[in-house]
Amino acid sequence: MPNLRLSTVILALLCVPTGWATTDTSYSQADVETAILLRDDAMSGTRAWNIVESLTTEVGPRLAGSEAEARARDWAVENLTRYGFENVRVEPFMIEGWRRGAETAEVVSPFPQKLAITSLGNSVATPANGVEAEVVLFESLAALRAAPDDSLKGKIAYVGHAMKRTQDGSSYGHFVRLRSAGAVEAGRRGAIATLIRSIGTDSHRMPHTGNMSYSSDVTPIPIAALSNPDADQLERMAQRGQSIRVKLTLTPSYTGVVESGNVVAELPGSDLADELVVIGGHLDSWDLGTGAIDDGAGVAITMEVLRRIKEAGLKPRRTIRLVLWGSEEVGLLGGYAYADKHKDTLRNHVIGTESDFGAGRIWKITRNINEQAKPVADKIAELVEPLGIAPGSNSARSSGPDLSPMNAQGFPGFRFVQDGSDYFDLHHTPDDTLDKIDPAAMDQNVAAYLVFVWMAANSNVSDWGWPAEQ
């Protein structure tokens, strides 16, 4: 049912003569007032939580390249079409598929007991009967890299490298290097398997998965993450000065080349329809939880933004494009596929942002834009300040993970930063479930994105900072 009150008020604003403008000609006062109305109406309640509830209940976990990820694309197309968006489509691409198998670990000696582990994505399997060997402990990735060649021959490497909690998750980039490089560095020194402390900040026996990669010059070895309490336990055993032996069994498998895809939908623009404002989240998730915060929440927030603009009967000047990326978790493959498919029209993408840091309240804006766009961005910051959002730096490295391949080519950066104080408690674990989401926090996200989208889609600024073409 359309929001008749909001539609009526906005219609009245749109009938205001075009001469009604601010002293800054970058935007009109009518667009400012519309953004305020959209913002305030969203804070009275949205359907964002219902959307993520539908995705996580009706589809569940959505591992990249899986049948479940395909069902998620079907779910997205069905709902986006029902909402009345235009140009709803799937843009397919192919990936190497991987599936989780059995995963067990136990200390054989000196203190026999089971360990809580999970395979890292893309890991090779152990032999069917597992591997058993002495464990050599390292406190950090740097310490592992300092170990001599062949020093781990026939052994299992364990690396601690404990991540610390931050509001903006800024430590993740440093600590996640262990997940990416641990197996390669251990294999280079002769190890037969690798165990790492989970890249996470919780104290639960729920290990964190995530993608890893191999190097062509090193024989692949299996790798798994220990939950933080189990990592603590292993380290305490080592403090007693006795040799530790562990048996590890992992049975993941590669499924060959399989289809993934990005789902795209649009609200077409009017006089600047060829210019694009992009928002979205990634549709895939890891398979341990239901992918509610990573990134069902981002999918729901951005879908709801478009739905509310459509419901209000608004026509933006620029086309607003929603992209629900596939296969983000296994290397930003949807982001790279999108950038490649649209390489001839990348500069039509004026500005954009992705929601992919959970469902917490937004507390800061970061950006990387030019002086021409600064008045519009400053006005956006002013309009979202009542939501508890402060302006941040103009040195953002990306607009979100899936937009980073475009950012690397010069796409201007803009990002809302959510409170991620507990994000890495849940990230890539079985605990990534719907009950962790606060609907009111999602509404605040929707309100902020509405302001951004409406102002960016309707301002008089088309150049937010693409570098000059060579």
Could you report how far apart the first and last alpha carbons of the chain are, in Å? 50
Give 265's contacts (C-beta < 8 A, 6+ positions apart).
Answer: 80, 85, 86, 87, 88, 89, 306, 321, 322
Look at the block and give the residue holding tokens 């090193």. 218
Last residue of a domain, one of 251, 286, 303: 251
Cα–Cα–Cα angle for 171, 281, 352, rounded to 5 degrees: 90
79, part of any domain: yes
- Nearest Cα residue to 298 out of 265, 332, 322: 322
User: Where do the H-state alpha helices sit in 89-192?
Assistant: 141-146, 172-188
467, part of any domain: no
CB neighbours of residue 13 within 10 Å: 18
Tens-digit pLDDT profile for residues 417-468 = 999 999 999 999 999 999 999 999 999 999 999 999 999 999 999 999 999 8
468, part of any domain: no
If asked whether residues 65 and 162 sit together in one domain, one would say no
CATH number assigned to the domain comprising residue 188? 3.50.30.30
470, part of any domain: no
pTM: 0.94
218, part of any domain: yes
Last residue of a domain, one of 185, 219, 251: 251
- Nearest Cα residue to 449 out of 323, 301, 325: 301
If asked whether residues 119 and 14 sit together in one domain, one would say no
Task: Catalogue the active-site residues.
Answer: 328
If asked whether residues 221 and 306 sit together in one domain, one would say no
Number of domains in the chain: 2
456 — phi, psi (to 5°)?
-65, -35
Burial class (CB in 10 A: 0-12, 13-18, 19+), 112: exposed
If asked whether residues 47 and 191 sit together in one domain, one would say no
If asked whether residues 426 and 324 sit together in one domain, one would say yes
If asked whether residues 419 and 325 sit together in one domain, one would say yes
* Cα separation, 76 vs 66, whole angstroms: 16
Tokens of 424: 């890495």
Give 413's contacts (C-beta < 8 A, 6+ positions apart).
Answer: 366, 367, 368, 369, 396, 397, 398, 399, 407, 465
Cα-based distances in Å from 142 to 149, 304, 340, 356: 14, 44, 35, 29
pLDDT at 469: 83
CB neighbours of residue 351 within 10 Å: 31
Last residue of a domain, one of 235, 251, 267: 251
If asked whether residues 429 and 441 sit together in one domain, one would say yes
If asked whether residues 312 and 365 sit together in one domain, one would say yes
Cβ atoms of residues 447 and 387 within 8 Å: yes
**117 three-class SS:** strand
Give 448's contacts (C-beta < 8 A, 6+ positions apart).
Answer: 39, 362, 384, 387, 389, 416
- Nearest Cα residue to 138 out of 162, 161, 159: 159
Q: Which range of residues forms the domain containing residue 382? A: 4-98+257-458
Tokens of 75: 């779910």
The amino acid at 267: L
463, part of any domain: no
- For 10, half-sphere exposure in the C-beta direction (CA atoms, 13 angstrom radius) is 26
Q: Which residues of the chain have pLDDT under 70?
A: 1-23, 470
Give 61's contacts (C-beta < 8 A, 6+ positions apart).
Answer: 68, 285, 286, 287, 288, 289, 290, 291
- The H or E element that residue 272 is part of is strand 272-282
pLDDT at 169: 86
* Cα separation, 261 vs 333, whole angstroms: 9
**82 three-class SS:** helix
If asked whether residues 111 and 239 sit together in one domain, one would say yes
Cα-based distances in Å from 66 to 158, 252, 326, 354, 391: 30, 14, 11, 23, 39
pLDDT at 18: 42
Tens-digit pLDDT profile for residues 239-278 = 999 999 999 999 999 999 999 999 999 999 999 999 999 9
The amino acid at 14: L
464, part of any domain: no
465, part of any domain: no
pLDDT at 12: 52
Tens-digit pLDDT profile for residues 4-44 = 456 555 555 555 444 344 567 899 999 999 999 999 999 99
Instruction: Considering only CA atoms, give the Rg of the chain.
Output: 24
CATH number assigned to the domain comprising residue 42? 3.40.630.10
If asked whether residues 236 and 111 sit together in one domain, one would say yes
- Sheet of 245-250: strands edge to edge? 113-115, 103-109, 245-250, 131-138, 156-159, 193-197, 223-226, 117-119
If asked whether residues 85 and 110 sit together in one domain, one would say no
If asked whether residues 76 and 33 sit together in one domain, one would say yes
Cβ atoms of residues 332 and 404 within 8 Å: yes
pLDDT at 23: 61
